Amino acid sequence: MPGLVTLGETMAVLGSPRPGPLRHAPHLELSIGGAESNVAIGVRRLGHPAAWIGRVGADEFGALVLERLRAEQVEVSGALVDPDAPTGLLVKEQRTPDVTRVQYYRTGSAGSRLCPADVDAAVGVITGAGVLHITGITPLLSPSAAGAVARAVELAVAAEVPVSLDVNHRAALGGAELLRERLAPLLPHLSHLFGGEEELLLLADATDEPSAVARLGGPGGSGGPELVVKRGARGASVYPADGNPELHRAAVPVRALDPVGAGDAFVAGYLTALLDGAPVAERLRLACLTGAFAVTVPNDWSGQPTRDELGLLDAEAGTTLR
Ligand code: ATP
């Protein structure tokens, strides 16, 4: 059964469990995180195969990344252990109950040394997939990582594998100009383009959504990708590639604990429904549901649901399942 393949950097994550300046945290919790592997985990939990391609260092953090992904049954045969660079690290500080500060230690990391030859070594994983998912993070990590993404897209397109991209703009990696420069060559090859409202304006260099949609795909944009706009607690919209009108869906009401990771879980739901062969309205429904699951737990990815958990958000507060 063809599933999802993705490539990018997955880092070790150190996070303080309580609000306050990090220096006063009595201990930190260790986990892993990466937008692309978060999506792979989400898709896998919902029952489709998922594979991740990337580099980790020959260190404990790298071992942790691979161990966690294997435990989630994400295929890592295309992952490499780089003896010459460390695994990247992300430190999350819950500065106040409502504000999270994130610090990256990824310059020169193993993940940023991903290169086209790594992708060539995993060619069958890409050409045999049902969808290739990439993000705007990887091309900004380094020129070689940008080359790896371009090579993956080339292989996918040649094998008629649909390509999905989530803008995931990380300002620490580069500004709007670099983002546009690195993503421009990929845009003509996309079947699905995901982004937040601001990200799509940034990518299209537009000041309003209709102009961004006209530039990136959507209504009347013949041959453009299906454009999916993530609107946080206000839900999400799709501008279908066939030019049909915008389809909006409200968010699923939940008690939100941590908004980070909602976007990846949303994409995982959307692409799962795509792999199911479901129509656009169902893709959007499942995406809003999986996005809502993610905000109910503090960790970026651990709250993503399995298929038989999808009804849990309908349960009344205080429900005990036996
Ligand atoms: P991330 O913080 O992971 O980068 P993002 O900005 O990419 O997130 P969001 O728009 O925050 O993505 O969230 C993606 C989707 O998750 C939304 O479109 C919505 O369907 C769902 N979602 C987000 N926040 C909430 C919330 N508070 N309650 C319910 N659903 C939510």
pLDDT tens-place string over residues 52-104: 999 999 999 999 999 999 999 999 999 999 999 999 999 999 899 888 899 99
pLDDT surpassing 70 at residue 221: no
Q: Are strands 247-249 and 236-239 parallel, antiparallel or unpaired?
A: antiparallel
Mean residue pLDDT of the chain comes to 94
Residue 17 has pLDDT above 60, yes or no: yes
Atom 15 in ligand 1: which residue has the minimum CA distance? Answer: 291
Active site residues: 264
What was the pLDDT predicted at 162?
A: 98
If you average pLDDT over residues 287-314, what whole number do you get?
92
Q: Where are the alpha helices (DSSP H) in 217-276?
A: 262-276
Check residue 41 and give left, alpha or beta (phi > 0: left; psi -120 to 50: alpha).
Answer: alpha
Q: What is the CATH number of the domain that holds 266?
A: 3.40.1190.20
Domain holding 244, by residue range, is: 35-55+74-79+116-308
Atom of ligand 1 nearest to the CA of 236: 18
Question: Nearest-CA neighbor of 187 among 203, 173, 174?
Answer: 203
Q: What does DSSP say about strands 99-105 and 89-96: parallel, antiparallel, or unpaired?
A: antiparallel
Stretch 209-233: mean pLDDT: 84
Higher pLDDT, 251 or 303: 251
201 domain residue, yes or no? yes
Mutate to test the pocket of ligand 1, among 37, 38, 167, 230 (most ligand atoms within 8 A of CB): 230
Protein residue with least CA distance to atom 11, ligand 1: 232
pLDDT digit string, tens, across residues 165-184: 999 999 999 999 999 999 99
Assess if residue 197 is contained within a domain.
yes
Q: Is 10 domain-assigned?
A: no
pLDDT of 201? 97
Å from CA of 128 to ligand 1 middle: 30
Q: Is 11 a domain residue? A: no
User: What's the pLDDT at 223?
Assistant: 66
* Ligand 1 pocket: which of 168, 266, 290 to mutate (most atoms within 8 A of CB): 266
pLDDT band, residue 146 (cuts 50/70/90): very high
**204-231 mean pLDDT:** 85
Please tell me the residue having the least CA distance from ligand 1 atom 29. 292
| Distance from residue 292's CA to the centre of ligand 1 (Å) | 7
Locate 242 and state its tokens: 């066939």
* Protein residue with its CA nearest to atom 9 in ligand 1: 232
In a domain, 167, yes or no: yes
Domain assignment of residue 95, yes or no: no
In a domain, 110, yes or no: no
Give the tens place of pLDDT for each residue, 106-128: 999 999 999 999 999 999 999 99
Tokens for 263?
């976007």
* Interval between CA 282 and ligand 1 midpoint (Å): 17
| Residue 214, number of CB atoms within 10 A of its CB | 17
Is 8 within a domain? no
259 pLDDT more than 70: yes
Distance between Cα 231 and ligand 1 center (Å): 6
**Cα-to-centroid distance, 304 and ligand 1 (Å):** 13
Question: What is the domain count for the chain?
Answer: 1
CB 224 within 8 A of CB 245: no
Write down the pLDDT at residue 222.
54
Check pLDDT > 60 for residue 218. no
Q: Which atom of ligand 1 is nearest to the CA of 252?
A: 29
